[in-house]
Structure 1
């Protein structure tokens, strides 16, 4: 199937072709006709499947195809609301709207925390067709009466599972209550837990279901390998991989913010241009670092799980798990950063004795045994060395392995809710 067969306007097809695309991904083939037909949609799709274009393209078509297009209406209130869990994802979705709508008379705006609200207020006053927002900042605008959601025709809830993980359910329900009862609803989620299904049940009306990413299935286009090593060898092994394999544009995952900062400094000191991205960084710093990584100015971007959610980079070749996550589902999200939209990628996990239980859980989840590799000069010892004592860090643990998986998730949820919505 080609994009020309999906019923999109010539202007939209031209914008798609200018990005080098001619064949829609599976989710686009299924979602675009359903959205064009006006159906509600419940889509299971991980990042990297082309889901953003899967809703952006038909929404642009619907806004400009009818008698109620922007040129004929007087009101300048938003007609489409896209709700995202993070500011990075909000920025990327709005960029996608501008990219595919470049030949259309459509205005879009992203609103999120961490930056001044006044420029966003000015943008809303000028008039917006498609509003992309994080929940906390959107409610700030609602409270200040700088946005009117009474004319929303299409509501998109993107990455609904991460929304719930980050504690946004109450804000989501507040926002839904402000929308017109007659509207089209599109819900996207990488997984569909009972909580997500409950939310979908109250939001969607006779939805079309699209499932292109079976639950917790790791991307088949990603080559996944485990390099076994000792805990104390990891930094030197990581440097060795960069030097011997000429790695570039690598997304490296660390468990903690402190660990991400320390690892980025160590790589930088070794001559490997690196930076860290996490919730403690200001919005300006995060945007700058992400831009440098996309442009190839950084060889490595060291990220925590929540900070990496929403990082959308075409043709990202490598993901390295410097530390395995405590929650096995997060492994699937991590490696989904590469091997996107049918392209090949590689995910490498550096695994020490302490992390073997997490590795076992991951393999059970993805229903496959990962290939083990040992690098000469970095062979693991037969038995794990005792973990050295760690001094306390003012109440913030740098030893995630000592906490159970559920406890490790708690600090990230409310903190990200505060920093990712209202204040950052």
Structure 2
């Protein structure tokens, strides 16, 4: 099958040809016609399989002959969790839409809001946005939604992980009821399906890969090592294998900074990218890495969904992630678009639980390889897969008592004149409070 058979317009097909693509990926083969049909769509596919093009290409094609957006209005909204991913989607839209007369823009935090407001005054056909900055612009009366025709939630699972559910609910309440809704994600957890009930209507559901599977062309290896030898092991692997481009994931911002500083002292050019860096610094570091001007990019999980390099040869999990699902997205930065890739994960004796969680999630044992000269002082256990426990049905919630007791529960931290002195109400409210992860 070729792109010519999917119903895309001639200007889009011309841009695809100029990009050098000839055959659509599975998610594109199924997703593009579904979006062009005008129906709501829920689509799940592995990271690196072309999800972005699966929704941007048909939207651009549909908007080719539509009337332009009015001042401060938008016609299509693409919501995404991170600045890097928003910028990546905007780059794709700019390229594939270069033969069209469409106004597109991207907005996110960390930069001045006034230039974004000025751009929106002209009216934007396709807007890519992070949730927080979009709400800021709405509060400034810089963006209006009455003309909106299409809503896209990209990487919806990551948005929930990062605590954006309240912002998403606020945005949904502002949008027209009649619109086309598209949910594209690497995974569809139970939480995503619960969110989908608020958004999609009788959707076309597409899943081209098993849940939480990893790309087959990515070779995965666990490397046992003592925690104190991680820096030296990474330097050894880079120099011995002559790696010219490697993305390294660290668990913390300070850890990424320390690693980049260590590598530069070893004459291995490196930069760090994380939430404490200014947007300008993050953009420069990513651009330098893509251009090959630095060999190593040390990143927190903010980069797991925002780096698109078609032939990134390898990634290293310097620290295993706290959340097993992040492992899938991290290693999805290599082996993209059908290319082969390598994912190396440093493992210490303290990593038994994350190893177990990751292997159970992806339903496979990751082989271990000990590097001579860096043998760990204690054996890293080879963890067997955990049996998946059947989920218990949720118990129906008991109706709360009305009156003053109920009013007290609605107050912050469960405080109020009628709060029990034993603190149970306070703890109950704390448990109900949704988890919010600060973007790295």
TM-score under structure 2 length normalisation = 0.85
Question: In the aligned structure 1, how far is the partner of 2:72 from the partner of 2:350?
Answer: 57
Query: Is 1:103 aligned to 2:99, yes or no?
Result: yes
Question: In the aligned structure 1, how far is the partner of 2:270 from the partner of 2:177?
Answer: 48
Name whichever of 281-290 and 228-237 sits farther off.
228-237
- The correspondence for 2:438, drawn from 411, 415, 418, is 415
- The correspondence for 2:179, drawn from 168, 173, 183, is 183
- Report the counterpart of residue 297 of structure 1 in structure 2: 293
Shift of 1:229: 1.9
Query: Is 1:25 aligned to 2:25, yes or no?
Result: yes
Q: Give yes or no for contact 2:28–2:54 (8 Å, CA) kept in 1.
A: yes
- Report the counterpart of residue 169 of structure 1 in structure 2: 165
Question: In the aligned structure 1, how far is the partner of 2:137 from the partner of 2:375?
Answer: 56
Question: In the aligned structure 2, how far is the partner of 1:143 from the partner of 1:284?
Answer: 25
Question: In the aligned structure 2, how far is the partner of 1:149 from the partner of 1:43?
Answer: 24
- Report the counterpart of residue 5 of structure 2 in structure 1: 5
- Report the counterpart of residue 213 of structure 2 in structure 1: 217
Once the two structures are superposed, the pairs formed by residues 57-72 of structure 1 within 5 Å of their partners are: 57-65=57-65, 68-70=66-68
Name whichever of 19-28 and 356-365 sits farther off.
356-365
- Report the counterpart of residue 37 of structure 2 in structure 1: 37
Q: Give yes or no for contact 1:249–1:296 (8 Å, CA) kept in 2.
A: yes
Shift of 1:331: 1.0
- Tell me the alpha carbon deviations over residues 236-286 of structure 1, each in whole angstroms, 9 at most, x when there is no partner: 111110111011211101111111110111011101100111111111111
Question: In the aligned structure 2, how far is the partner of 1:79 from the partner of 1:411?
Answer: 32
Shift of 1:342: 1.4
Shift of 1:317: 1.1
Q: Give yes or no for contact 2:27–2:54 (8 Å, CA) kept in 1.
A: yes
Question: In the aligned structure 2, how far is the partner of 1:233 from the partner of 1:335?
Answer: 22
Q: Give yes or no for contact 2:161–2:437 (8 Å, CA) kept in 1.
A: no
Q: Using a 3 Å threshold, how does the CA distance of structure 1 residues 383 and 88 change in structure 2: closer, same or farther? A: closer
Once the two structures are superposed, the pairs formed by residues 165-314 of structure 1 within 5 Å of their partners are: 165-314=161-310
- Report the counterpart of residue 414 of structure 2 in structure 1: none
Q: Give yes or no for contact 2:71–2:121 (8 Å, CA) kept in 1.
A: no
Name whichever of 357-366 and 296-305 sits farther off.
357-366
Q: CA RMSD in A?
A: 1.8
- Report the counterpart of residue 137 of structure 1 in structure 2: 133
- Tell me the alpha carbon deviations over residues 210-237 of structure 1, each in whole angstroms, 9 at most, x when there is no partner: 1123211111110111122222221111
Query: Is 1:51 aligned to 2:30, yes or no?
Result: no
Q: Secondary structure at the match of 1:223?
A: strand
- Report the counterpart of residue 418 of structure 2 in structure 1: none
Q: Secondary structure at the match of 2:151?
A: strand
Question: In the aligned structure 2, how far is the partner of 1:380 from the partner of 1:12?
Answer: 54
Q: Give yes or no for contact 2:16–2:96 (8 Å, CA) kept in 1.
A: yes
Q: Give yes or no for contact 1:160–1:196 (8 Å, CA) kept in 2.
A: yes
Q: Give yes or no for contact 2:103–2:126 (8 Å, CA) kept in 1.
A: yes
- Report the counterpart of residue 81 of structure 2 in structure 1: 85
TM-score under structure 1 length normalisation = 0.88
- The correspondence for 2:122, drawn from 120, 126, 136, is 126
Shift of 1:412: 9.5
- Report the counterpart of residue 401 of structure 2 in structure 1: none
Shift of 1:184: 0.5
Question: In the aligned structure 2, how far is the partner of 1:156 from the partner of 1:196?
Answer: 14
- Report the counterpart of residue 15 of structure 2 in structure 1: 15
Q: Using a 3 Å threshold, how does the CA distance of structure 1 residues 274 and 411 change in structure 2: closer, same or farther? A: farther
Shift of 1:45: 2.3
Q: Give yes or no for contact 1:229–1:351 (8 Å, CA) kept in 2.
A: yes
- Report the counterpart of residue 396 of structure 1 in structure 2: none
The gaps in structure 2 that reach 5 residues or longer are 381-432
The gaps in structure 1 that reach 5 residues or longer are 385-409
Shift of 1:351: 1.3
Q: Give yes or no for contact 2:77–2:148 (8 Å, CA) kept in 1.
A: yes
Q: Using a 3 Å threshold, how does the CA distance of structure 1 residues 104 and 383 change in structure 2: closer, same or farther? A: closer
Shift of 1:151: 0.4
